[in-house]
Amino acid sequence: MAGNGGLLRSSIPNQITVARLASVPLLMFFILWDSPVGRIIGVVLFFLAAISDAVDGYLARSFKQTSVFGKFADPIADKLLIVGALVCLVQLHELDAVWVMIIIAREFLVTGLRILAIAEGQVITASLLGKLKTISHVVLVLAILVGRSFAIGPWIVIAKDAALALALVLTIVSGVEYFVRCRKLFA
């Protein structure tokens, strides 16, 4: 299907993105599976999926294999990975639903803003704050998953709380930054 304008081009970066998308239900299963083995597999799977985001982007740029499919699917895969893990952590009483809803609401609002920009013929690229926000979400999920999986000690609670505070601040600040950058769309 390589001749269809790049939508489903079978490149390694796109295959990595599809694998990340496909891993989300499996990841959720392992996070929710109440066993030591399930927890460890959940940590490893989440870590690999999170790292794959950087890998597929690097490969796409390095080998000039960027595609329309990749530009669309990659951010969706990232959001589903984080949201899937966060929803599981709410179900496990590791996070309060209100904090997760703030994160999810920001993702919907910024995605809606990007759709509006596309309708106006503009592209909103990821900002540094947006990238830092994503990293903070990965750190938050990893801190909680590692704390559930390994006897690390009481400092993990402090790490979890600090990661949550940082994730929330970056979620809000980066969301506001996107809307300030794109205020002309509302004029």
Give the model confidence (pLDDT) of 54-100 as tens digits: 898 888 888 888 877 877 788 899 999 999 999 999 999 999 999 99
What is d(CA 107, CA 83) in angstroms, rounded to the nearest whole number? 9
pLDDT tops 50 at residue 7: no
Rounded Cα distance between 184 and 178, Å, is 11
95/152 Cα distance (integer angstroms): 19
CA distance 120 to 185: 8
Task: Give the per-residue pLDDT at 30.
Answer: 97
- Which of these, 127, 145, 131, lies nearest to 84 by C-alpha position? 145
Residue 10 pLDDT greater than 80, yes or no:
no
Following CA atoms 144, 148, 151, 155 in sequence, which dihedral angle do they give, to the nearest 10 degrees?
Answer: 30
Q: What's the pLDDT at 102?
A: 97
- From start to end of 94-148, where are the E strands? none
Provide the pLDDT for residue 91.
97
Q: What is the mean pLDDT of residues 21-26?
A: 96
Token readout for 5 is 């304008």
More confident residue, 187 or 130: 130
Question: How much is the mean pLDDT over the chain?
Answer: 89
| Superfamily holding 12-186 | CDP-alcohol phosphotransferase transmembrane (TM) domain (1.20.120.1760)
Mean pLDDT check: name the lowest of 1-15, 19-33, 55-69.
1-15
CA distances from 122 to 56, 116, 119 (A): 24, 9, 7
pTM for the model: 0.87
Q: What's the longest Cα–Cα distance across the chain? A: 55
- Can you tell me the mean pLDDT for 43-51? 96
Which whole number is the average pLDDT over 36-42? 94
Tell me the C-alpha distance between 186 and 45, whole Å: 41
Distance in angstroms (rounded) separating the CA atoms of residues 120 and 65:
26
The residue with greater pLDDT, 172 or 7, is 172
